[in-house]
A = this chain, B = another copy of it.
Amino acid sequence: MFIEKIKSEGLAHMSYFLGIGEAGKAAIIDPRRDVDIYFDLAQKNNLWITHVFETHRNEDYVIGSRQIQEMSNAKIYHGVQLDFKYGTGVNEGDEFEIGDCLFKILSTPGHTFESISIALYDKSYSTQDAVGVFTGDALFIGDVGRTDFFPDRAEEVAGLLYESIHNKLLPLGDQCIVYPAHGAGSVCGSGMASREFSTIGYERLNNPALQKNKDEFIKHKINEHHYQPPYFRKMEYINQTGDVNILSGLPIPKPLSPNEFAEQMSDLQVLDLRNPEAISGATVTGSLSIPVNMLPAFAGFFLSYDKPIGLIADTNHQIKDAVRHLVRLGYDNINCYLNGGLHKWETGGKDFNKIPAVHVKDLISKIENHEQFTLLDVRSIDEFNSGHLPNAQHIYVGELPKFIEDVDRSKLVVTFCGSGQRAAIAASYLKQNGFRNVGNCLGSMSACKAVGCPMA
């Protein structure tokens, strides 16, 4: 019996491959859509994937259950409280045995109503003491799941989550290892530990959210701010209906020469995957820059499902990573990429933009000299409220499409965030929307803290 944690970077999503050698079988908890890694593990370990458990209807990625089912005829299980159009509903107390593994279903609503946790027992030792529990988005390491999906019932769901944790998960016992669905960096919770392993006992003692009483907990949860990228709606639809395009492999974008690419640009969403420094140096006019590692968290704020995507990158590695990231978000129509990247674009004499980097020292000097410019802070409202530079205008990066008209086009805009990465996306979005004079403060608030900045 072994557990392999599969981490999807960017989403900070964790799925789990549970191999049960004596049965020749494997179970997957919350699989991602690019399922090759599970089948590789199965083949390497002489296992057949027979069970897929979904802890809840995920909203931040396309779940891979149906893809696995097509390939290995596995059964899919999820909570009954939602009307799923595929798979089998399970209830509190349902049990599944595979070899020495015993899975028991716990109903743990809060993040969503149909959320379940799955407790794991090693029958050869005990059917009473759980050795582990897959907690989905109920309990994370150092935090708990977000409860903002039902704003009309905010207190109710926060209370449900409290009960789920205190009446279902903690009673499993301190010895029980915690296998959550997300780790640090996920948009599904903000306070997760960078440590990747924990137990019910350790969380009971040290998870800040578990030190609160029910009232404090509810108050804390309803005061949290979370953003919901528009693509969440698409994920919810797909993951509830199972109406997903079954892949016969990852999409292979076609290399286009600069001339071909330029000709097709009007029919494309052109996505630049390079680093903020490269974006500062030169970008294809009309493109939107989202550094590849930021795609999982931010692509869904900006990309439409209706228009094919054309990629710009420095390396084939970036292209390959982007394809996986996009497919996980349901963007299958990755049509082409600019062959030779910016270099060929430049040697072809095509137009390019620049988004000059602004050092934080220059920014301070601009502020102190009362220069006319907009300092656009695109961090989350919580970050902004915890400290920002004087006269900064706040719009969350993901909400720029909604509020772009609030930004003054006539002045220089310097974008600003925690480190210069979200600011790069924001700056690129402004450029794409016709802003002439845009800079990006590389380093942003982190650099401010390192060198010392005046704060508002």
- Seen from chain A, the residues whose Cβ lies within 8 Å of a Cβ on chain B are 1-3, 21-22, 24, 39, 43-44, 46-48, 71-72, 100, 122, 124-126, 129, 131-132, 142, 173-177, 193-202, 204-206, 248-249, 252, 254-257, 274-282, 314-317, 320, 339-343, 346-352, 354, 356-357, 359-361, 419-421, 442-444, 446-451
Given contacts A174-B173, A347-B420, contact A315 B317 (CB under 8 A): yes
Chosen A-B contacts, 6 in total, with CB atoms closer than 8 Å, are A276-B343, A280-B281, A281-B281, A281-B357, A315-B317, A349-B361
| Choice from B175, B196, B275, B354 contacting A278 with Cβ under 8 Å | B275
Q: Is the beta-carbon distance between B205 and A46 smaller than 8 angstroms?
A: no
Q: Is the beta-carbon distance between A348 and B447 smaller than 8 angstroms?
A: yes
| Choice from B46, B314, B447 contacting A314 with Cβ under 8 Å | B314
In the docked arrangement, what's the CA distance between A451 and B201, Å?
A: 47
Q: Is the beta-carbon distance between B1 and A196 smaller than 8 angstroms?
A: yes
Q: Which 5 A-B pairs have the closest CB atoms?
A: A175-B201, A280-B281, A349-B450, A248-B248, A347-B446
| Contact residues in B for A71 (Cβ distance below 8 Å) | 249, 252
| Contact residues in B for A351 (Cβ distance below 8 Å) | 359, 361
| Contact residues in B for A132 (Cβ distance below 8 Å) | 197
Q: How far is the CB of A25 from chain B (nearest CB, A)?
A: 9
Q: Is the beta-carbon distance between B352 and A442 smaller than 8 angstroms?
A: yes
Given contacts A48-B254, A281-B280, contact A347 B275 (CB under 8 A): no
| Choice from B46, B100, B201 contacting A201 with Cβ under 8 Å | B201
Q: Is the beta-carbon distance between A279 and B281 smaller than 8 angstroms?
A: yes
| Contact residues in B for A281 (Cβ distance below 8 Å) | 276-281, 357, 442
